[in-house]
């Protein structure tokens, strides 16, 4: 009887172990092909694989075309991506942080058609946090890169898309391209970097639009060095030194109806925080070109904020009798405002108030 009880108990234990193994081998991956968390990785309906470098191990076991989903958490890795047609998708830059385990990159991509999105990457003090090294046709989107040597760095890499990334508070440049061509940079933010916001060297035929670079320190918001045939328009530049270009590049597109980066109704050139021109016809584009430091390049359609409409003294973007009343008050007190001197005689008088009132009624054009 005792032997029977032992045998029965042993059989029960083996059954429980078998059930446990079966359960472990049937973990679902609810996002795509491979799931990763802080302690390991698994394929959909596959076994859990414990790992101290789960993103890299998932990469090493992935096949071309796989989508790897990284769950919220904090990871410490230097990840090498050497398989084409892979997608690495974090749950969001606000919840997935990958810190470089050494001072090298966080993600280095050395093959084509790789997508990376949804990560906060930091701690890459030797190179770029996201580093495309001879990698083409990649999409890098919705990432945050801060406290690195460079935020996002492309070297000998072409036909890539950088979309809606934030590369701020880095030691060198927020975004840097070296000998990289035919890339598109759209909707990126590169603020408060120690060197510059966006830097291109020996790179051509790139398109930059809807990007923002503000409060970058030692050099420029955007710098093009030995780079030509790039198109830069509808960006927002607000730095002590906004731009440098020693090549031959295009800094505006043809005036086109459409919402621009500062809310105006026409797309043309870029917004420059130190632009000195105004907008006499109220189309949101400046009346004189903006000169780029370097070798004679210009933005011929610089964007003007609505408040720069000539005679718009209350900053509401249009001319109304309220603006005429402000001009009349200035004239009565003897105060001066260049924006109110629409007659251009060096003084604010009742004539200026009358001209603004007539312009508000579409009787004259300032």
Choice among 18-32, 92-106, 286-300, 324-338 with the minimum mean pLDDT:
18-32
Question: Looking at residue 83, what is its pLDDT?
Answer: 96
| Full-model pTM | 0.79
The pLDDT confidence band at residue 314, using thresholds 50, 70 and 90, is: confident
CA 333 – CA 361 distance, rounded (Å): 25
The pLDDT confidence band at residue 326, using thresholds 50, 70 and 90, is: confident
- CATH number of 34-250: 2.60.34.10, 3.40.710.10, 1.10.1040.10, 2.160.20.10? 2.160.20.10
Q: Which residues, in sequence order, are bridge partners of residue 289?
A: none
Question: Looking at residue 307, what is its pLDDT?
Answer: 58
Domain with CATH 2.160.20.10 in the chain: 34-250
Domain with CATH 1.10.1330.10 in the chain: 309-366
* Residues 6+ away with beta carbon under 8 Å from 202: 178, 179, 225, 226, 227
Please, are residues 109 and 86 in contact by the beta-carbon 8 Å criterion? Answer: no
The CATH code that applies to domain 309-366 is 1.10.1330.10
Tens digits of per-residue pLDDT, 277-303?
Answer: 888 777 889 989 999 999 999 999 999
Residue 241 corresponds to which tokens in the numbers above?
A: 């030194």
Residue 311 corresponds to which tokens in the numbers above?
A: 């005679």
Please, are residues 29 and 44 in contact by the beta-carbon 8 Å criterion? Answer: yes
In degrees, rounded to 5, the angle at the alpha carbon of residue 325 between the alpha carbons of residues 322 and 328 is: 155
Distance from chain centroid for Cα 298: 24
């Amino acid at each position: 009887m005792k032997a029977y009880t032992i045998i029965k108990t042993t059989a029960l234990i083996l059954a429980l172990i078998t059930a446990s193994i079966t359960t472990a081998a049937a973990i679902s991956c609810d996002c795509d092909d491979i799931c990763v968390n802080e302690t390991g990785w698994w394929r959909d309906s596959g076994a859990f694989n414990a790992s101290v470098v789960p993103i890299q191990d998932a990469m090493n076991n992935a096949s071309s075309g796989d989508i790897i989903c990284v769950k919220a958490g904090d990871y410490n890795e230097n990840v090498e991506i050497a398989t084409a047609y892979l997608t690495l998708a974090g749950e969001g830059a606000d919840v997935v942080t990958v810190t470089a385990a050494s001072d090298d990159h966080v993600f280095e991509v050395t093959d084509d058609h790789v997508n990376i999105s949804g990560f906060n990457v930091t701690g890459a003090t030797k190179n770029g946090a996201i580093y495309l090294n001879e990698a083409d046709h990649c999409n890098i989107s919705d990432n945050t890169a801060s406290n690195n040597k460079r935020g996002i760095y492309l070297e000998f890499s072409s036909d890539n898309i950088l979309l809606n990334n934030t590369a701020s508070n880095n030691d060198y440049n927020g975004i840097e391209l070296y000998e990289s061509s035919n890339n598109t940079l759209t909707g990126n933010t590169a603020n408060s970097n120690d060197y510059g916001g966006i830097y291109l060297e020996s790179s051509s035929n790139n398109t930059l639009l809807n990007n923002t670079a503000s409060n970058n320190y030692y050099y420029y918001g955007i710098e093009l060095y030995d780079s030509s045939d790039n198109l830069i328009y509808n960006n927002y530049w607000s730095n002590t030194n906004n731009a440098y270009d020693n090549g031959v590049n295009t800094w505006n597109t043809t005036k086109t109806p459409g919402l621009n980066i500062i809310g105006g109704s026409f797309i043309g050139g870029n917004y420059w925080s130190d632009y000195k021109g105004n907008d006499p016809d109220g189309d949101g584009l400046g009346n004189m070109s903006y000169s780029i430091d370097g070798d004679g390049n210009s933005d011929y359609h610089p964007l003007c904020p609505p408040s720069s409409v000539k005679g718009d003294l209350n900053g509401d973007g249009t001319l109304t009798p309220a603006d005429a009343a402000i001009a009349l008050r200035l004239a009565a007190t003897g105060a001066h405002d260049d924006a109110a001197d629409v007659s251009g005689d060096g003084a604010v008088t009742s004539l200026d108030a009358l001209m603004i009132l007539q312009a508000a009624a579409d009787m004259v054009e300032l």
